[in-house]
Structure 1
Amino acid sequence: MIDDHGSEVSGGTDGGAGSARPADAGSRSAFWEGVHHGKDVDGVSWWQSVPGLSLGLVDSTGLGREEPIIDVGAGWSTLVDHLVERGHRDLTAVDLSVTALRTVRERLGDAGEGVTLTPADVLDLHLGRDYALWHDRAVYHFLTEPGERDDYRASLERHLRPDGRLVVATFGPDGPTTCSGLPIVRYTHAELAAEFPGFELVDTAGEEHRTPWGAAQQFTAVLMRRRAG
C-alpha cells in the first residue's frame, strides 16, 4: 500500500530539456510525475542498480536495524531494497511521483512489508513521526531559491531526532549544471555542510556516477549529525 500523506497525480509535463521550472507544490508534482510516467527505470539519468555511495554512508552510521530511516526524493531508487536485504525494518520512502513509488512497491513485493511509501512534497512534509536518519540523494541540488532551502530544512528539523543523522548528496563542483531540464546548484563538501548549520560534519564521500547511457556525473555527499540542544 502507498500511504496517502500527499496527493496522487497522473500525467504531467515532460521532464526533458526546456521544461519550465516548477515553482509550487502542484507543478512540482506534475513535473516529476511526467519525468517518471511511461519510462523504464533506467530511462532516468540518476538510476543505479546498487547505490554504493548512499549505502556506504548509511552503513557508517552504525544504526541498528530497528532504527527508522527516511529516504526523501526516493523515486525509483533501490536504496530501500538494499536496506531491506540488510535487515532494516522501519523504512520510509517519499517522492512526488506516485508512478515511481508504485514501481518500487511492485519491485519489493512481500519483502517490502516494513517499507512505507509516501507521495509527498519534501518542502512541506508532515508525517507525524521522527527518524534516526534522513537520506537525500539529488533533491537538495534542485533547490535553487533560498526559500526552498529554508522549507527543506524546516521539514528536516520536524522529522529528524535530536541526535539524528543526515546524509545528503548533490552534484559536485564539476558535475552537470542541469538535470531533467532544470537548473541545479552544485556544491563542494564544505559548501554542502555549511547549508546545515545545526549539524556537525561526520564524514564526506563522493563518486563519479555513470548514467545508463554512459555520461559521467560528479556527486558530492556528506554525513552529518544533528547537534543536541
Structure 2
Amino acid sequence: MTDGLVRPDDAAARAKYWEDVHHGKNVDGVSWWQSVPGLSLGLVDETGLGPDEPIIDVGAGWSTLVDHLLERGYRDLSAVDLSVTALQTVRDRLGPAGAEVVLTVADVLDLRMGRTYALWHDRAVYHFLTEEDERADYLASLRRSLRPGGWLVVATFGPDGPTHCSGLPIVRYTHTELADQFPGFQLVDTAGEDHLTPWGTSQQFTAVLMRRTTDTTTPPG
C-alpha cells in the first residue's frame, strides 16, 4: 500500500487506476505534463526516421508528442494508454489534422497491435514497473511491436528524481541501469532533463536512445 492506495496489480485494476488519475482533471493537473516534449523530440530527431515510418507512443496519456510529430510531417502515428479519458482529450485536441492518428486503449504489458513499428517511445511508463514479471511482460510487448533495427526511446525518473508518482512507487534509473534493462538493444545515446512540473517542482528524468540489434521475436499479434 502506498499513500493509502492499493497498488494495481492486474490489467483491470491498472485501467481503473489510470482512468481515475485522468478523470476530472485539467491536462496541467498531472505532474508529467509538458506542452513541448523537448527531450523526446530531440531523441526522435536523432534517429533520422522518415515521415512514413511508423511510430508508437506507449503510456501516452495527454502527451503532445503526436501533435508535434504531426507538425513535423510524420504520418503513421499511434498512441496507447489505459485511460479512455486521456485519449479522448488527445483526439479532441488533434481535431481533423489528427484524423489518421491511431489512438488505442490498451495495456502496454500485453500489447498486441497486429503490426510492428520503427520507433517505440515511452516517457514515464517503465519506471512504474517495480516487479520483475511486469518488466518481463513489457519487454515481450516491446519485442512483438518493434521491428528488427527499430529504435527505442525510454525515459524514467533519474537517480535524484522522485521515489513516487501519482501515489505509486517507482524505480529510478541511471543511464547505464536503464540501458541494461533492454537486452538485444544497443545504446546509441543518452539524455536527461530536469522537468518542471505545472506547480513548479523539479523532477530529474533519465532517457536512453537504443536500437534493436536482434531479430528474435514472436510474430506481431
Instruction: Identify the residue that residue 166 of structure 1 maps to in structure 2.
Output: 152
Asked if 2 retains the 8 angstrom alpha-carbon contact of 1:55 and 1:79, the reply is: yes
TM-score (norm 1): 0.92
Query: SS of the residue aligned with 2:206?
Result: strand
Structure 1 residue 17: Cα displacement: 4.2
The runs of 4+ residues in structure 1 deviating greater than 6 Å are none
C-alpha RMSD of the superposition: 0.9
Query: SS of the residue aligned with 1:39?
Result: coil
Quick check: 1:25 aligned with 2:11? yes
Q: Structure 1 CA distance, aligned partners of 2:111 and 2:187?
A: 24
Quick check: 1:34 aligned with 2:24? no
Query: SS of the residue aligned with 2:154?
Result: strand
Q: Structure 2 CA distance, aligned partners of 1:228 and 1:114?
A: 31
Q: Structure 1 CA distance, aligned partners of 2:101 and 2:199?
A: 30
Aligned counterpart for 1:45 among listed residues 18, 31, 35: 31
Query: SS of the residue aligned with 1:174?
Result: coil
Structure 1 residue 18: Cα displacement: 2.9
Aligned counterpart for 1:113 among listed residues 94, 99, 103: 99
Q: Structure 2 CA distance, aligned partners of 1:96 and 1:158?
A: 19
User: Gaps spanning 5+ residues in structure 2: where?
Assistant: 216-221
Quick check: 1:124 aligned with 2:104? no
Code of the aligned partner of 1:64: G
Code of the aligned partner of 1:97: S
Aligned counterpart for 1:64 among listed residues 39, 50, 58: 50
Instruction: Identify the residue that residue 13 of structure 1 maps to in structure 2.
Output: none
Deviating more after overlay: 18-27 vs 131-140: 18-27
Q: Structure 2 CA distance, aligned partners of 1:57 and 1:95?
A: 21
Q: Structure 1 CA distance, aligned partners of 2:34 and 2:3?
A: 21
Q: Structure 2 CA distance, aligned partners of 1:19 and 1:93?
A: 27
Aligned counterpart for 1:216 among listed residues 202, 206, 210: 202
User: Gaps spanning 5+ residues in structure 1: where?
Assistant: 1-15
Asked if 2 retains the 8 angstrom alpha-carbon contact of 1:17 and 1:180, the reply is: no
Instruction: Identify the residue that residue 84 of structure 1 maps to in structure 2.
Output: 70
Q: Structure 2 CA distance, aligned partners of 1:61 and 1:218?
A: 23
Q: Structure 1 CA distance, aligned partners of 2:97 and 2:198?
A: 26
Q: Structure 2 CA distance, aligned partners of 1:218 and 1:212?
A: 14
For 1:182-215, what per-residue CA distance to the aligned partner results, in whole angstroms no more than 9, with x for missing partners? Answer: 0000000000000001100000000000000001
Q: Percent identity?
A: 78
Q: Structure 2 CA distance, aligned partners of 1:127 and 1:120?
A: 9
Aligned counterpart for 1:155 among listed residues 141, 146, 157: 141
Query: SS of the residue aligned with 1:220?
Result: strand
Asked if 2 retains the 8 angstrom alpha-carbon contact of 1:134 and 1:165, the reply is: yes
